[in-house]
Amino acid sequence: MVYPDKKLDVRACLAATCFGEASKESLDDLCRVAKVERFRESTLLELAGQPLEYLRLVVSGSIEIRARQSADVDIVAWDIGAGGWAPWLATLMQVTPDNDIHCTPSSCFVALPVKTVRQLLANEPQIYPQILKEMGERMRLLIGWTSQSILAKPDRRMAKLILLLAELHKLGDSQGSLQITQKRLADLARCSRQTANALLGMLEARGLVGLTYGKVEIKNFDDLVEFANGER
């Protein structure tokens, strides 16, 4: 769900998500307080342990949930692509985020003040089923990735991760490209950058993916699925 930067239809963006279930008046209120954000560089959006300011819809680019290992080191724990909202848990539970929230370069968001969102949900609970559907889909993918990849060989584990990200970013079922660096893939795969580079090279040698700077191209989804499942 990518819109031209200079002509972003905020109402259409919101209506295409769970907030399409809101009343016309409430949707009008959201449009009045919504803020369009565009970032050229990777940027810290919300700090762990600090009051949450905005719930964000990813229009383009992605949001990274980062786990901090030390003052100078963090890793990407989760990735949310176009069409997804973040962070739902902190918004709904009215708590501070557990992790830092960053955006990737060249990202665009529709940001809603969390106070407005919480008040809307209190007044219009019919929106909750769509929220739970989105959160449940993420949980399904995360559990599937965790359970299926535990015993998988490293190259097949990397293939499964690429397929997971493709689904999160709503790529098609034939070909598609992920805008992602090898560093981010290494973080998500819980391996070193050197290992990730070697595994991606193995997939490329099999003709399953193509590699360019900051991008992984899936050559054929069916072939990649078969390889990830150990069928080829």
CATH topology of domain 151-228: Arc Repressor Mutant, subunit A (1.10.10)
Q: Could you tell me which residues come within 8 angstroms of residue 16 by beta carbon, excluding any fewer than 6 positions away?
A: 1, 83
Q: Could you tell me which residues come within 8 angstroms of residue 109 by beta carbon, excluding any fewer than 6 positions away?
A: 36, 37, 38, 56, 57, 58, 59, 63, 103
The class that CATH gives domain 5-135 is: mainly beta
Task: For the chain, give every residue range classified as CATH 1.10.10.10.
Answer: 151-228
pLDDT at 3: 40
CA-based radius of gyration for the chain: 18
> Burial, 196: exposed, middle or buried (Cβ in 10 Å; 0-12, 13-18, 19+)?
buried
User: What does the block give as tokens for 50?
Assistant: 């600090």
Question: pLDDT tens across 90-131, in order?
Answer: 999 999 999 999 999 999 999 999 999 999 999 999 999 999
The residues pairing with 103 across neighbouring beta strands, listed in sequence order, are: 43, 63
Task: For the chain, give every residue range classified as CATH 2.60.120.10.
Answer: 5-135
pLDDT at 5: 46
> Burial, 44: exposed, middle or buried (Cβ in 10 Å; 0-12, 13-18, 19+)?
exposed
Note whether 5 and 108 are within 8 A (CB): yes
Quote the pTM value: 0.79
Among 104-108, 150-154, 223-227, the minimum mean pLDDT is found in 150-154
